[in-house]
Chains A and B, each alone.
Chain A
């Protein structure tokens, strides 16, 4: 098997800080925006959008200068948001080739993708580049793509592409010709070299490439040789592919502290869109979503919601987050918001024609979350019995619908059910020879007809004669012939009678 000829695509997004911030702030996209960097009051413009540039704003302007322009949205640079956007872009690039190299600069995103041998699978280079840009655009980033057999040539061309061109392919062997009209700045020259070349009158890559190699090395050393090779598009390179971890995370730092839940959910909505897009690109779905809020009082508030099945239904996630945040309100205004998700495989449940009707898992999640908001977190679920003799012998577990059932063996055909009075009610009891004769329960007097007991429970286990609880089963009748069958408990320590359960 012959090794396919080298071919590299280069993805380049300039004004990355501005693009990152505007990605999740849809309302600012149609306004001139600038991104400021640095400590107050020495902040300078580090990035801006096209509308800002058309207004006359330039890099390096101070905040005082920016204030002279009308209706400019001023944002602060956020490295964390840039990192999460970069992860998303690299992930997008990895959809086209497993070999991706991150070459990002301070204010621009740059990555090289090894696309050798992908022609049969993903189409010719131009189609691939356009598909790549299409996906990147869905993430909310405007970028350009170039393809060349030399990685450095592709990078140089991407940096020097004219404004309206999004894709350009350099035919094999035409590197020098294609790069010739590009300005020298695409090579990232040092100030010293820049000055030297301007003194020599060298302005484009073509002019640099035409310089004699020997004389250039004599004057500038090996660096000169490297620059000349870069200008000719034949600089050898070492491709260092990276292995990015698949992390579904989006972060936004809010421009002003937010307190209201609806405005927070508006942002969450946009971020969920992005997460779902990224998960879907890998044929995955979101299994759980975690919101981490950084609050004004330096605290963080985290809430995690899960659905019964991994799903990409945005409305469901928004509803679940809404209910969870309503049930567990945050204590201060929110400064920043991180949304992370765990991916899960998209699963389809095959239902049988004769299987019984079951609640739809997604619908059930929302219903349970709504009920939890009404009655409290611990009061909804299915009970699980603990292996204990204590009175509260159960715990609550989240209710899920499982297709397979566990066989239940009932020892008794029709057992008497009991209704347990959890907040045991005090009863006033009349005794006759140490046995209850009559009692008053809920303002009604009952005469005991039958009595069973006492059964002694509780007490000091090291003391064989000491017991703290007596349990009596009584059948009693009131004056209006109301029958009551109950379990009375006598606390011997405090000499108190309580109604524990009613047999029903």
Chain B
């Protein structure tokens, strides 16, 4: 009788071509980390964000995702590494990045969906006056002071035809006593108003589907990941609604994870809701912070809060259930950001 261990080995050997080590749990990998530059966060993350893996930063607008990502990039670019920012919604502000200390010459910024917007705007703004409002081209001077014909005879050419068009049948009909054949009148056609109806709020509320932007971003990310050499890639889907962001297939994130591992890139994903699922090595959930109340007249900044929502390989590989509750890791950190005009306190 074959033991379960033998069956397991046999199964794994059979499936080895398709699924390597199918029944063995993945080995724990100790990844190198790159510091984010925020001491409190680095302490919770035990050094920083993992290199060669996907880190997902989840949070709503104004939760501090961008500040944390920029701080991470600033640290990397200052140590002469190059990074990429794939900007899905074209909201990246280079001035903020420069203020955070990012060396902009070492940052590749890919703006998605700008071209389509531009084209759309160009077609909207196209406006041409009808011909009747334009100055008519100068008439060609003929032999006898005006007219197109070199001979006076030519000036009356086609006159009879032109006159007959004025004398339409309905114009003549009432004057004539004899019965006239009924002329079928062409029904008048009213063209629909081509001008778009203005919206309720006088402007658009981003009705454009962002899928083309996302597709551009995913293709660009693929290319940059395959090329290698970048130390960090930030895919900024933070302004994309969750219903669109979650349409990205899980296979894409799985592929990114494999590429990031191969090229040793820190892949940072900014989203509103979790997208990468199990492909993400580290998931950070950021909460909308409390605004700082240092000054009554100017906006001074935020107190942000971050929680480690998921981290791979944190469980101890033990089947024994301890009697006591094991010590829990601190997984919440907070830090404050200050607006550039607030000054140092």
Of B104, B105, B216, B229, which is within 8 A of A357 by CB? B229
Of A383, A442, A503, which is within 8 A of B94 by CB? A383
Chain B residues whose C-beta falls within 8 Å of the C-beta of A475 in the assembled complex: 291, 299
What is the total of A-B residue contacts with beta carbons within 8 Å? 224
Give the one of A366, A379, A393, A407 with max B CB within 10 A: A379
CA distance A38 to B124 in the complex (A): 54
The stretch that binds A, out of B6-14, B63-71, B134-142, is: B63-71
Chain B residues whose C-beta falls within 8 Å of the C-beta of A384 in the assembled complex: 104-105
B107 at the binding interface (Cβ < 8 Å): yes
CA distance A422 to B298 in the complex (A): 24
Structural contact, B338 and A414, CB atoms closer than 8 A:
yes
A162 at the binding interface (Cβ < 8 Å): no
CA distance A367 to B225 in the complex (A): 10
CA distance A501 to B298 in the complex (A): 16
Q: Distance in Å from the Cβ of B37 to the closest Cβ of chain A?
A: 8
Chain B interface size, under 10 / 10 to 19 / 20 to 34 / 35 or more? 35 or more
Structural contact, B344 and A405, CB atoms closer than 8 A:
no
Structural contact, B61 and A415, CB atoms closer than 8 A:
no
Chain A stretch 460-504: residues in CB contact (< 8 A) with chain B: 473, 475, 482-486, 496, 498, 501-504
Structural contact, B82 and A503, CB atoms closer than 8 A:
no
Q: Distance in Å from the Cβ of B92 to the closest Cβ of chain A?
A: 7
Specify the chain A residue showing the minimal Cβ separation from B107: A382
Contacts A374-B219, A416-B338 given; does A358 touch B298 at CB 8 Å: no
Chain B residues whose C-beta falls within 8 Å of the C-beta of A379 in the assembled complex: 110-112, 114-115
Structural contact, A425 and B223, CB atoms closer than 8 A:
no
Of A356, A375, A484, A501, which is within 8 A of B114 by CB? A375
Contacts A379-B111, A414-B71 given; does A484 touch B61 at CB 8 Å: yes
Structural contact, B109 and A383, CB atoms closer than 8 A:
yes
CA distance A415 to B301 in the complex (A): 8
Of B71, B93, B302, which is within 8 A of A485 by CB? B302
Q: Distance in Å from the Cβ of A408 to the closest Cβ of chain B?
A: 5
Structural contact, B81 and A357, CB atoms closer than 8 A:
yes
Chain A residues whose C-beta falls within 8 Å of the C-beta of B227 in the assembled complex: 359-360, 363-364, 366-367
- Map CB proximity to A onto B113-134 as digits: 1 under 8 Å, 0 otherwise: 1110100000000000000000
Contacts A357-B81, A428-B201, A504-B238 given; does A415 touch B66 at CB 8 Å: no
Q: Distance in Å from the Cβ of B103 to the closest Cβ of chain A?
A: 5
Specify the chain B residue showing the minimal Cβ separation from A355: B80
Chain B stretch 320-345: residues in CB contact (< 8 A) with chain A: 335-340, 342, 344
Chain A residues whose C-beta falls within 8 Å of the C-beta of B96 in the assembled complex: 415-418
- Map CB proximity to B onto A124-167 as digits: 1 under 8 Å, 0 otherwise: 00000000000000000000000000000000000000000000
B231 at the binding interface (Cβ < 8 Å): yes
Chain B residues whose C-beta falls within 8 Å of the C-beta of A418 in the assembled complex: 66, 93, 95-96
Chain A stretch 349-405: residues in CB contact (< 8 A) with chain B: 355-360, 363-364, 366-368, 370-371, 374-376, 378-385, 393-394, 396, 399, 401-403, 405
Chain B residues whose C-beta falls within 8 Å of the C-beta of A412 in the assembled complex: 99, 338, 340, 342, 344
Chain A residues whose C-beta falls within 8 Å of the C-beta of B340 in the assembled complex: 411-412, 415-416
B165 at the binding interface (Cβ < 8 Å): no
Chain B residues whose C-beta falls within 8 Å of the C-beta of A415 in the assembled complex: 67, 96, 99-100, 337-340
Chain A interface size, under 10 / 10 to 19 / 20 to 34 / 35 or more? 35 or more
CA distance A405 to B106 in the complex (A): 8
Of A358, A375, A482, which is within 8 A of B216 by CB? A375
Structural contact, B101 and A408, CB atoms closer than 8 A:
yes
CA distance A426 to B201 in the complex (A): 8
Structural contact, B67 and A417, CB atoms closer than 8 A:
yes
Chain B residues whose C-beta falls within 8 Å of the C-beta of A193 in the assembled complex: none
Structural contact, A504 and B107, CB atoms closer than 8 A:
no
A410 at the binding interface (Cβ < 8 Å): yes
Chain A residues whose C-beta falls within 8 Å of the C-beta of B106 in the assembled complex: 382, 401, 405
A264 at the binding interface (Cβ < 8 Å): no
- Map CB proximity to B onto A333-356 as digits: 1 under 8 Å, 0 otherwise: 000000000000000000000011
Q: Distance in Å from the Cβ of A44 to the closest Cβ of chain B?
A: 47
Contacts A374-B220, A452-B298 given; does A419 touch B66 at CB 8 Å: yes
Give the one of B97, B204, B299, B337 with max A CB within 10 A: B299
Please give the residue numbers on chain A whose beta carbons come within 8 Å of chain B beta carbons, in ascending order.
355-360, 363-364, 366-368, 370-371, 374-376, 378-385, 393-394, 396, 399, 401-403, 405-423, 425-426, 428, 440, 442-443, 449-450, 452, 473, 475, 482-486, 496, 498, 501-504
Pull 27 A–B residue pairs with CB atoms less than 8 Å apart, ordered by A.
A356-B79, A359-B228, A360-B229, A371-B220, A375-B112, A379-B110, A382-B104, A382-B107, A385-B98, A394-B94, A405-B77, A405-B103, A410-B100, A414-B336, A415-B337, A415-B339, A416-B337, A417-B96, A420-B92, A425-B204, A443-B205, A450-B299, A473-B298, A483-B289, A485-B291, A504-B61, A504-B63
Which 6 pairs across A and B sit closest by C-beta, in order of nearness?
A426-B203, A359-B229, A410-B101, A376-B115, A383-B94, A483-B288
Please give the residue numbers on chain B whose beta carbons come within 8 Å of chain A beta carbons, in ascending order.
38, 60-67, 70-71, 74, 77-82, 90-115, 117, 201-206, 216, 219-220, 223-224, 226-231, 238-239, 264, 288-289, 291, 297-299, 301-302, 335-340, 342, 344
